[in-house]
Amino acid sequence: MPWQVLDAFRDPAIPKLDNLRRAARRGLCVPSWTLWARADEPVAELAASWPKWAAPVPWVVRSASPTEDTRQTSNAGQLLSLVVREPAAFTSVLTRVIAALPRNDGRPMGAIFVQPLVLAKTAGITFFDGFYFEETRASENNMALTSGAERGEVDRGHVQRGDRHHAWLLRVHRLFGGCLDIEWARPESDGDPVLLQVRPALFPIRRCETLSLANHKEILGDPPSPWMVGVLGAVARPAMRFFEAVDPAIATWEEPYAIELAERGWLNFSAFFRMMDRWGLPRTMVTEGVGGESDGPADHRIILWRLIRSSPTLIRLGLSCLAQIARIGRGLRALDAELDRAETLLDLYRASARALDFSVRTNFAIISLLSVFAKLRKMLGLGQAAHVVTQAMMAEYAELAARPELADRLLGLEHWLERYGHRGPLESDPRRPRFAELREVLQADLARGPAPPPPPRPRPAPWLATLSHPLFVADEIRERFRDSLMRRWQLLRTRILAEARRAVMQGHLNDPDDAFFLRGEDLAADPATWRARATERRALRKKAERLDLPATAPRDVIEAAVARAEHSGAAPCPDRFLGIGLGRLPVTGTAVRADDLPGVLAGEALPESAILVVETLEPSWAVVFPRFSAVVAELGGELSHASILLREAGISAVVNARGAYQSIADGDLIAVDPSRGEVRVEERRAVIEAAS
């Protein structure tokens, strides 16, 4: 009998049928009653021998050529798959399908097979590389999708933990590997799909990464200077070699740690989620560290079997982190030498890139250890016991601001600037001024009168602080490294401005600040073009400032927002916001919205029990933290620099509270409950003023 059951197929040279057989043997569901026969059998014999017990019509008659579905050729859509709706049409359909097959010496090559047409609630096609997918869906079946008659519902993204459909895709990928083109149908809405066909996808999957401004927006501002965006793009791939050296499989992903979009450098969360999945670690180790959002409860869990399998890799990662930290001093000295050798703006740009590459790798090492220590501290319920540089900066400014005599305050400022003048708001972007350049703003702040004395800093019992101190060493290393790096960054800024002033004198720039609107490719071009290039980049940045962008979203969503290139209008103002709570004490007070630190320093006297409400935080805000009873930020993670400082100071806060900055008005009465990670608007300013 020419017709045989699928399990009897034994010819890997015909991948389409062999792949279905392999899938069925691994427990994946394929169409029942799949029967096959050699294509060179006479059509009359095939039609006559079709078994009476086969499934009722409609049937699908498919080709299975040796030229289909290989890793070199696809032939997708070039051969025939036809539906038989009446048994009488079976012979003519067989004839057409066989006639479309390639031939060898006049004889059709390969096989044909017949399946019942799967009547599905949903069917689709998924291109999948083991993590990223492009998927289109339609109701009933996927024939209109495969033919191009319908586009269907298109979705792109990466694997989500806890998603049943994605778990099924992973099962398919574990069996076949590589980039796959998967056709499937789901008869029941809550069941696994039926695998109709799987073939290699002979093209790269279009990636739709989850991107976030968390951390970058905190430390660089929004948007950062084109100089800094260009530097981020230059180091985005090289910096990932820190992890690739530990786990070479990561190099095959070709993932950058950051992606340029809308004149900004976005953190590529997908790359780090992918690493967490590979190693069996919770994805929330990423989002809790730098801010942003996880996708669901499954992101909080470990994957035990992967964690066990990856334990040697994680040990190597830990050793690599320690080695990178041990090289901090040598790296800083190399950076000093690089800055000494730099003579031109292009040299300084390249030095910026090498410095950032070193900084990112070192922070990868520190944060990797810090994430583990933070989990342990949370489990043990430990408060802060770290002694960090930026905490001292904050405490010393609060002390001098509280001195009764103005002369003492101003004298103290000079000593404070000697120690901390190299720091400043959004200091990771060399375009931003340092505190040493903001002397007049700081003097005006101190001249308004003595600030309230800072509250006593909460400290654990001495014995507990001593015992728990090893769990806080990473925090101290991180802040010392940042402080040392910012000294070099101040020198870098000074050198850039000096060269930029020279370019202004030569007629290549209109203003020294224009240098920060140039990138590597601009600086490598004829200096006579710099002025026009800087003007163009200023216009692009101005346009980018007006974009209404999400803080964390898939690339497609962000690109759609860029395409609209306009604000979506006033958003509704909810009265409750959820985020990550820092501290335990609930606080109620008056909202003080602030765009930047100089605005607070030069602003009016603060109301009693003031609560700082900002879009993002970065470490220099620490100089005014003691003046506020609580802090609310739209972005941020519990391991960000500013969050560490808030916990150090014992100030209640909720960070990563999406929508809070946009919806809370200056003067609103708000309640901050860190234990619940909640911010509530108790009373709007307009109501308060009307009542008074």
Listed residue (39, 37, 13, 36) closest to 24, CA to CA = 36
Q: In terms of C-beta density within 10 A (0-12 exposed, 13-18 middle, 19 or more buried), how is residue 90 classed?
A: middle
Residue with tokens 């960054």: 489
Gap between the Cα atoms of 270 and 158, Å rounded: 7
SS3 497: helix
Peptide bond into 550 cis (omega under 30): no
What's the pLDDT band for 571 if we cut at 50, 70, 90?
Answer: very low
CA angle 311–312–318, rounded 5-degree value: 85
> pTM value?
0.85
- State the average pLDDT over residues 201-228: 90
Gap between the Cα atoms of 204 and 452, Å rounded: 60
Gap between the Cα atoms of 150 and 69, Å rounded: 23
Angle separating helix axes 389-401 and 473-505, nearest 10 degrees: 80
What does the pLDDT read at residue 573?
A: 59
Q: pLDDT tens digits for 405-426?
A: 999 999 999 999 999 999 999 9
Residue with tokens 């916990």: 647
- Are 146 and 93 in contact by the 8 Å Cβ rule? The answer is no
- Are 542 and 621 in contact by the 8 Å Cβ rule? The answer is no
Amino acid (1-letter code) at residue 34: T
Quote the percentage of the chain above a pLDDT of 90.
60
Gap between the Cα atoms of 464 and 466, Å rounded: 5
What does the pLDDT read at residue 456?
A: 76
Gap between the Cα atoms of 349 and 336, Å rounded: 14
What does the pLDDT read at residue 567?
A: 43
Q: Is the pLDDT confidence value at 568 over 60?
A: no
Question: SS3 for 450-495, per residue?
Answer: CCCCCCCCCCCCHHHHHHHHHHHHHHHHHHHHHHHHHHHHHHHHHH
Phi, psi dihedral angles at 245 (to 5 degrees): -65, -30
What's the pLDDT band for 326 if we cut at 50, 70, 90?
Answer: very high
Q: Is the pLDDT confidence value at 85 over 50?
A: yes
Tell me the average pLDDT of the chain: 89
**CB-based contacts of 171: which residues, under 8 Å, 6+ apart?**
26, 28
- State the average pLDDT over residues 320-332: 96
Gap between the Cα atoms of 62 and 266, Å rounded: 46
> When comparing pLDDT for 81 and 273, which is higher?
273
Q: Which helix (H) or strand (E) holds 602?
A: none
- State the average pLDDT over residues 143-171: 82
Q: Which domains does the chain have, with CATH numbers?
A: 4-116 (no CATH), 120-200 (no CATH), 218-341 (no CATH), 389-564 (no CATH), 576-691 (3.50.30.10)
Q: Is the pLDDT confidence value at 145 over 70?
A: no
> When comparing pLDDT for 648 and 207, which is higher?
207
Q: Is the pLDDT confidence value at 54 over 80?
A: no
What does the pLDDT read at residue 119?
A: 81
Tokens encoding 640:
């960000």
- State the average pLDDT over residues 166-180: 95
Q: Is the pLDDT confidence value at 633 over 80?
A: yes
> When comparing pLDDT for 493 and 467, which is higher?
493
**First and final CA of the chain: distance in angstroms?**
95
Tokens encoding 541:
């940045």
What does the pLDDT read at residue 383?
A: 67
Gap between the Cα atoms of 481 and 364, Å rounded: 13
Q: pLDDT tens digits for 524-545?
A: 999 999 999 999 999 999 999 9
DSSP summary character for residue 211:
E
What does the pLDDT read at residue 195?
A: 95
Listed residue (4, 178, 152, 158) closest to 74, CA to CA = 178
What does the pLDDT read at residue 648?
A: 73
What does the pLDDT read at residue 137?
A: 85
What does the pLDDT read at residue 565?
A: 63
Q: Which helix (H) or strand (E) holds 301?
A: none
Angle separating helix axes 311-326 and 328-341, nearest 10 degrees: 50
Q: Is the pLDDT confidence value at 561 over 90?
A: no
